[in-house]
Structure 1
Amino acid sequence: MDILLSLVKTPSVIIAIVAFLGLLFQKATLSRLITGTFLSFIGFTMIKVGGGILMKVLTAFSSLFSHAFNIVGVVPSNEAIMAATIDKIGATAALILLFSMIINILLARFTRMKNIYLSLHLVLFMAFALTAVLAQLGYSVMSIVIIASVFIGFYMAFAPHVLGRFSRKIIGSDEYSISHAAISSYILGSYMGKWFGNTQHDTEHLEISNRFDFLREPNVATLLTMLILLVISCIFATQPQIKDAMVMVYGSGAADKNVLIFILEQSATFACGLYLAKAGVGLFTAEIVPAFKGFAKVFAPGAVPAVDVMVLFDKAPNATLIGFLVSFLVELICILIFPFIGLPIIVPGIMASFITGGAAAIFGNATGGFRGAIVASFINGLLLCVLPALTLPLFADLGAKGVTFADPDFTIPSLILNFVLGLFK
């Protein structure tokens, strides 16, 4: 089980194995086999490294922002709650992951749902969430494995299949689909964008005065977005709070930096991280899509790979930034409202706001232009706050204090299973 957990926690290894098998089944030359396997591995590792850079900057910003405005509450973090409970339910979750993968492949082979979900680290998070829910309902380990495996295996095939109606408009083909932990948010945002938006006003065609023409460059726009957020946070933060954030980035070298350099460097670092992640996406998709055809030919003829949502970020960079800012703003509003309606404060998960908020806006833009992007990312921000607050009691038995699961595709199934199966208890 430890080997399986280690494997799925390293998505780049899964991708490399799929690419290797795909090329092997295609009887590719040795040179092509080596090239395709390692470029897929390098591309996905670039995404991971870029994501790590983003995470480091966003973690420092999150700490700075929370302390500056005295925000205390529950932190939605899939990684944190998994790390805190891996000894307790990790073995069960690993079994669920294994059987879910088998069910996904069988469904892709024998049904019209031809998507094979490759973001297996997200499936592992879902396995942890559902294991916790079923355990607190009193189900045995065997029952938990059976129920959760069937549920997740069906989800892995069904969710990207339904989202495909909208993702193919963005991708421009059916060569691959999207697997992510907020597919429910993207589907809802796509429909709401269609109903309330207007595709004639695309976020990528926004009219910008010549004086602000520099905003058309995605890397500059990204840098300026983070710069503004850091400046606002530093204005309201105390000197010790700023130093704490700087230590998170520079370590012992923080004493040699001033605040202005910190803001400028971290803004640029954030832009670099996103650029690196998007470059990795390009390298990864160029190799995994053709290689996957060989994998599918053997295991599930006609199947397509469902890959991480970050592959869409270079399709609509303006929408990505709009979605991040709108989702983050909605989460801040929820902080003010929740105490008055009896809900626990959910501290904004900045990385989740950036990825799911940006992706939601891309889908909303595809169906409803600028207005659709706003509506979709607004809904996403609500889901990122309301759902973790509602599901918090479901994970109380795990003993992980101050953290909970973050994404809609973990929290919505948790609520559904708790309600439905709770009727029989």
Structure 2
Amino acid sequence: MEILLSLVKTPSVIIAIVAFLGLLFQRASLSRLITGTLLSFIGFTMIKVGGGILMKVLTAFSSLFSHAFNIVGVVPSNEAIMAATIDQLGATAALILLFSMLLNIFLARFTRFKNIYLSLHLVLFMAFALTAVLAQLGYSNVAIITISSIFIGFYMAVSPYILSRFSRDIIGSNDYSISHAAISSYIIGSYMGKWLGNKKHDTEHVVISNKFDFIREPNVATLLTMLILLIISSIFATQPQVKEAMTMVYGAGVADKNVVIFVLEQSAIFACGLYLAKAGVNLFTAEIVPAFKGFAKVFAPGAIPAVDVMVLFTKAPNATLIGFLVSFLVELVCILIFPFIGLPIIVPGIMASFITGGAAAIFGNATGGFRGAIIASMINGLLLCVFPALTLHLFADLGANGVTFADPDFTISSLLVNTVFGWFK
């Protein structure tokens, strides 16, 4: 069980295994087998390394921002709550993951839902969430594994299928689909963009004065966005609070570090992390898609891989930045409103805002242009705050104080399972 948990917590290993098996079933040459497997592994590892760089900068920024504006609340973090509950829920969640994968492959082979969900680390988070919900309702381990495996197995096959109506237009083909933990947000955002937006005004065609041509370069735009956020937070934070954020990045002994250098350097590092993640996406998808066709021929003929949503970020870089900023701003507004309506404060999860907000805007832009991107990312920001607040009590028995699950698919699924299976208790 410990070995299985280690594997599913290392998505790059899963991807490499899938690539290896796919090429093996295609009877690829030894050279192609080695090259495809290792490039898939390297590409997905690049995504992880880039994400780690982003996470480090965003963690420091989140601390600085919270202290600067005196925000105290619950932090939505899938990694944190899983780490805090792995001894309680880990074994059950691992079995759920295993049976969910088998059901996903079965459905891909025998039904119209031809998507095989490859973002298995996200499935593991959902397994933890549903295990916690059903456990607090008093269900036995066997019942928890059965209910959760069926629910998640269908989710893995069906959710990318529903989203593919919109994702295939962005991708430009049906070679792969999207698997992520905010598919509910992307579907809602796509429909709202379609109904309320204007597809003619694409975010990527926004007319910018020649004086601001530098904004068209995605890496420069990313750097400037983080630079502005860090400068504002640093202005309102005290010197000790700035030093604390600097310590998170540089470690102890940062007394001689200039705050201006800190802000500039971290903004550049953030842009580097995103660039690395995007490069990894390109490398990984170039290998995994053809390899997966061989895998699907044996286990699920006609199936397509459902991969991480970050593969879309290169399709609409303007929308990605717009989505991040709008989603984040909506979450800030929720901080002001929630105390007046009796909901706990949910501290914005910067990484979730960046990934799901950016992706939501890409989907909204595809169906409703610039206006659709704004609407979709606003909806995403609301989902990132409202549902963690509504489901917080479901995880109270875990003892993981101050953290909760972040992404809409986890929180909405938890609320749905609690409502339905609560009737039988």
Q: 2: distance between equivalents of 1:194 and 1:238?
A: 45
| Structure 1 partner of 2:137 | 137
In the TM superposition, residue 164 of structure 1 has moved relative to its aligned partner by: 0.2
Q: Which SS does the other structure have where 2:288 is aligned?
A: helix
Q: How does 1:204-353 map to 2 (within 5 A)?
A: 204-353=204-353
1:12 and 2:12 equivalent?
yes
Q: 2: distance between equivalents of 1:415 and 1:91?
A: 23
Q: 2: distance between equivalents of 1:252 and 1:55?
A: 19
Q: 2: distance between equivalents of 1:152 and 1:16?
A: 23
1:106 and 2:106 equivalent?
yes
* Alignment deviations for residues 375-421 of structure 1 (CA, whole Å, 9 cap, x no partner): 00000000000000000000111111010000011000111111111
* Alignment deviations for residues 192-232 of structure 1 (CA, whole Å, 9 cap, x no partner): 00001011100000000111111000000000000000000
Unaligned runs of 5+ in 1: none
In the TM superposition, residue 256 of structure 1 has moved relative to its aligned partner by: 2.6
Q: 1: distance between equivalents of 2:149 and 2:377?
A: 31
Q: How does 1:99-178 map to 2 (within 5 A)?
A: 99-178=99-178
Q: 1: distance between equivalents of 2:285 and 2:213?
A: 31
Q: 2: distance between equivalents of 1:89 and 1:249?
A: 31
| Structure 2 partner of 1:43 | 43
Identity of aligned residues (%): 86
Q: Which SS does the other structure have where 2:71 is aligned?
A: coil
Q: 2: distance between equivalents of 1:294 and 1:248?
A: 45
Q: 2: distance between equivalents of 1:137 and 1:379?
A: 30
Matched letter for residue 323 of structure 2: G
- What is the alpha-carbon root mean square deviation over aligned residues? 0.5
Q: How does 1:39-78 map to 2 (within 5 A)?
A: 39-78=39-78
Q: 2: distance between equivalents of 1:88 and 1:130?
A: 13
In the TM superposition, residue 162 of structure 1 has moved relative to its aligned partner by: 0.2
1:182 and 2:182 equivalent?
yes
In the TM superposition, residue 237 of structure 1 has moved relative to its aligned partner by: 0.3
Under a length normalisation based on structure 2, what TM-score does the superposition of the two structures give? 1.00
| Structure 1 partner of 2:24 | 24
* Alignment deviations for residues 319-340 of structure 1 (CA, whole Å, 9 cap, x no partner): 0000000000000000000000
In the TM superposition, residue 253 of structure 1 has moved relative to its aligned partner by: 4.2
Under a length normalisation based on structure 1, what TM-score does the superposition of the two structures give? 1.00
Q: Which SS does the other structure have where 1:138 is aligned?
A: coil
Q: How does 1:348-359 map to 2 (within 5 A)?
A: 348-359=348-359
* Alignment deviations for residues 252-293 of structure 1 (CA, whole Å, 9 cap, x no partner): 242231010000000000000000000000000000000000
1:402 and 2:402 equivalent?
yes
* Alignment deviations for residues 53-88 of structure 1 (CA, whole Å, 9 cap, x no partner): 000000000000000000000000000000000000
Q: 2: distance between equivalents of 1:421 and 1:32?
A: 49
Q: 1: distance between equivalents of 2:80 and 2:252?
A: 25
* Alignment deviations for residues 277-318 of structure 1 (CA, whole Å, 9 cap, x no partner): 000000000000000000000000000000000000000000
Q: 2: distance between equivalents of 1:222 and 1:413?
A: 33
Q: Which SS does the other structure have where 1:24 is aligned?
A: helix
Q: Which SS does the other structure have where 2:343 is aligned?
A: coil
Q: Which SS does the other structure have where 1:256 is aligned?
A: coil
Q: 2: distance between equivalents of 1:198 and 1:375?
A: 11
**Aligned pairs, how many?**
425
Matched letter for residue 223 of structure 2: L
* Alignment deviations for residues 144-191 of structure 1 (CA, whole Å, 9 cap, x no partner): 000000000000000000000000010000000000000000000000
* Alignment deviations for residues 90-109 of structure 1 (CA, whole Å, 9 cap, x no partner): 10000000000000000000
Q: Which SS does the other structure have where 1:116 is aligned?
A: strand
Q: After TM superposition, which residue ranges in structure 1, 4 or more long, deviate above 4 angstroms?
A: none
